């Protein structure tokens, strides 16, 4: 058994001793109140994470000034009581608590719209495309002082330390970057001069909290953007930052404008991929360094620390997916850890794309819903049928059984997993298959009776003795009305991904959504020459998402064509006739056509459930075809509402 002796060893930073070297890094939640106060939801969320047994918990971003506050505030004494509750919630579970001090600069969307956002230069945000107001020297001094004052409030609130956020394209990074800082005064120019603002912020924080209080700095060691600053640039200012008062360096990477979503790397990036940048920092300073970058296996983090590449490791998204991961690792139960998929659906995209979106995890429905999550057992034990074993059905079965219900899960195929079985065939997405296997084991351990190769029929529902049925039958393929679609060489995306059909040499994929793109990616990897036909004028797979960026990149490298604003008129013998802007085009030779235009809910059993007055609920794609996060959340809610 791996004892994790390096990861679990204590470390002392000034007057703060951590019981181990596992760090929960700062992650935005949007759980705070509308007036930027700490809420009960914040406290429940952070308490659940602190219960993990990590040595250090760093709060989410705390805004030091209204011009750049995008979450909870720390720019006024009125925030201290709530922050004190947060620090106490962490302490009660064992870890040390550090408050992260933050200013968004030109990445504060609300302030950009109001015209109050500030930055080193009036250069538009790469994310929002709106320029901030260029900071005067008076503005710079005001923000420097705000960081110092905020640090004092954090100390007063009971945190053991503070972390200054100088990463990911926010204000301090904006000063470091020549792409956002084109000043001609002492705060612009070469890299050392552009770092002046960061150094002054550190000095102000150190002056505010005194010598016995740890000060951490999170920095993007590399900007990870064309013509951006490099790790070698950052090495030159490390001694200055240490002299200014930094005790620990948190070695992150990139900005929110960097390609490929590197700040929250997708599954295409291997675990611990960013560790070498922590090592670059350790080459020039003799203070502890935290490594960050898709850590989900504590054994890898232990190896990184043993090698001396870093002194601590941050488990961000992993602690959302499984707050108990470290407890399980200490007990040697590594296979029981629910490993993060790096899908970013709940922790990143939900916050960015949904109005008032609050943090979630696509595979852990408890995350962000700690106040709703029932500990169990249920007051009344019910007999429950769950029909379908995709993400919604398996999650519903696990949660219902956890709450004490008698659960039988039916799956018409000979194995569980639903659509995830096919998604797991895509490059780098084997983690999805691992998750489904984990979920199936959880169901068995919770006592779920699993019946595969068993299709529930209307006749079975006639004699159903369940108190409640959860319908999670997923979706079925949409078959477009295209001339020639009934030919033998026409197949579905699932037939290709399920490897029931041999890939052709020259293939047209009809549909450029995620399934179509991933199927094309799979085909290209097998050696097919692929053309994707999509009727929309823009790709439905967004390039700003990490996985979407990687798909588009691989498609370009493989020579795959993506024809937008185009429809298939007919499928002929050896060719496909396309129409775009009223003009026809013939693609030839074509020996295979793959249909991937989407799915529609499979609800054929609902009528019989109603006729027999059987209590039921619908979850996942059987309700509406969407993503994993909606499926698991609806599956969990169906179980919680029994």
Nearest to 14 by CA among 83, 96, 107, 72: 96
Where helices occur in 308-385 by DSSP H, the ranges are 316-321, 325-330, 350-353
Contacts (Cβ under 8 Å, ≥6 apart) of 274 = 251, 252, 253, 265, 291, 292, 293, 294
206 with 245: CB under 8 angstroms? yes
Burial (Cβ within 10 Å: 0-12, 13-18, ≥19) of residue 124: middle
In our burial notation (b when 16+ CB lie closer than 10 A, e otherwise), range 491-506 reads bbbbbbbeeebebbeb
Percentage helix, strand, coil for the chain under 3-state DSSP, each rounded to 5? 35, 20, 45
369 with 632: CB under 8 angstroms? no
627 with 392: CB under 8 angstroms? no
187: DSSP letter: T
The dihedrals phi and psi of 633, each to the nearest 5 degrees, come to -65, -45
Active-site annotation, residues: 170
Torsion angle defined by CA atoms of residues 89, 90, 91 and 97, in that order, rounded to the nearest 10 degrees: -130
In our burial notation (b when 16+ CB lie closer than 10 A, e otherwise), range 539-567 reads bbbebebbbbbbbbebbeebebebbeebe
Encoded tokens for 29 = 């939640």
110 with 70: CB under 8 angstroms? yes
606 with 480: CB under 8 angstroms? no
Encoded tokens for 466 = 């369940």
Contacts (Cβ under 8 Å, ≥6 apart) of 502 = none
Pairing assessment for the beta strands 561-563 and 529-533 based on DSSP bridges: parallel
């Amino acid at each position: 058994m791996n004892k994790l002796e390096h990861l679990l060893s204590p470390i002392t930073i000034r007057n703060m001793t951590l019981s181990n070297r596992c760090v929960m890094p700062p992650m935005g939640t949007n759980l705070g109140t509308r007036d930027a106060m700490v809420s009960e939801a914040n406290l429940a969320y952070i308490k659940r994470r602190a219960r993990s047994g990590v040595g250090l918990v760093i709060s989410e971003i705390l805004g030091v000034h209204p011009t750049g506050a995008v979450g909870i505030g720390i720019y006024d004494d009125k925030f201290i009581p709530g922050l004190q509750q947060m620090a106490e919630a962490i302490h009660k579970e064992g870890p040390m608590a550090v408050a992260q001090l933050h200013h968004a600069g030109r990445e504060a969307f609300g302030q950009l719209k109001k015209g109050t956002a500030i930055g080193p230069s009036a250069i538009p945000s790469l994310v929002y495309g709106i320029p901030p107001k260029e900071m005067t020297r008076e503005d710079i001094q005001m923000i420097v002082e705000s960081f110092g004052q905020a640090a004092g409030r954090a100390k007063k609130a009971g945190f053991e330390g503070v972390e200054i956020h100088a990463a990911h394209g926010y204000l301090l990074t904006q000063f470091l970057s020549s792409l956002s800082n084109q000043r001609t005064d002492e705060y612009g120019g070469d890299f050392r001069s552009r770092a002046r603002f960061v150094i002054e912020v550190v000095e102000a924080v150190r002056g505010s909290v005194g010598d016995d209080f740890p000060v951490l700095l999170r920095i993007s060691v590399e900007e990870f953007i064309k013509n951006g600053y490099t790790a070698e640039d950052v090495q030159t200012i490390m001694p200055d930052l240490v002299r200014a008062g930094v005790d620990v360096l948190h070695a992150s990477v990139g900005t929110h404008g960097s390609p490929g979503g590197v700040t929250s790397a997708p599954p295409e990036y291997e675990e611990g991929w960013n560790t070498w940048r922590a090592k670059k920092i350790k080459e020039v300073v003799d203070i502890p360094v935290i490594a960050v970058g898709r850590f989900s296996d504590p054994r890898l983090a232990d190896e990184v620390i043993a090698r001396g590449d870093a002194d601590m490791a941050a488990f961000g998204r992993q602690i959302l997916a499984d707050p108990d991961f470290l407890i399980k690792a200490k007990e040697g139960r590594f296979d029981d850890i629910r490993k993060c998929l790096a899908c970013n659906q709940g922790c990143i995209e939900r916050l960015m794309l949904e109005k008032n979106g609050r943090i979630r995890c696509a595979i852990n429905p408890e995350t962000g819903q700690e106040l709703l999550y029932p500990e169990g057992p249920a007051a009344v034990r019910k007999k429950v049928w769950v029909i379908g074993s995709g993400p919604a059905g398996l999650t519903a079965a696990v949660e219902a059984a956890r709450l004490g219900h008698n659960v039988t899960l039916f799956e018409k195929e000979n194995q569980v997993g639903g659509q995830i079985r096919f998604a797991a065939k895509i490059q780098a997405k084997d983690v999805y298959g691992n998750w489904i296997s984990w979920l199936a084991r959880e169901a068995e351990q919770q006592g779920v009776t699993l019946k595969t190769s068993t299709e529930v029929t209307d006749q079975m529902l006639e004699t159903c003795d369940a108190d409640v049925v959860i319908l999670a039958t997923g979706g079925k393929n949409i078959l477009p009305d295209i001339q020639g679609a009934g030919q033998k060489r026409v197949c579905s995306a699932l037939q290709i991904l399920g490897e029931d059909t041999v890939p052709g040499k020259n293939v047209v994929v009809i549909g450029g959504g995620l399934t179509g793109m991933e199927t094309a990616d799979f085909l290209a990897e097998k050696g097919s020459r692929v053309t994707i036909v999509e009727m929309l004028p823009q790709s439905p797979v967004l390039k700003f998402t990490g996985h979407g960026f990687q798909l588009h990149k691989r498609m370009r490298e493989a020579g795959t064509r993506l024809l937008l604003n185009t429809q298939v008129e007919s499928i002929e013998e050896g060719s496909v006739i396309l129409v775009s802007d009223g003009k026809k085009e013939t693609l030839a030779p074509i020996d295979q056509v793959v249909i991937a235009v989407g799915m529609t809910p499979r609800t054929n059993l609902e009528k019989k459930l109603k006729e027999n007055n059987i209590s039921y609920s619908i979850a996942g794609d059987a309700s509406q075809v969407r993503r994993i996060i909606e499926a698991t959340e609806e599956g969990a809610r169906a179980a919680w509402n029994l």
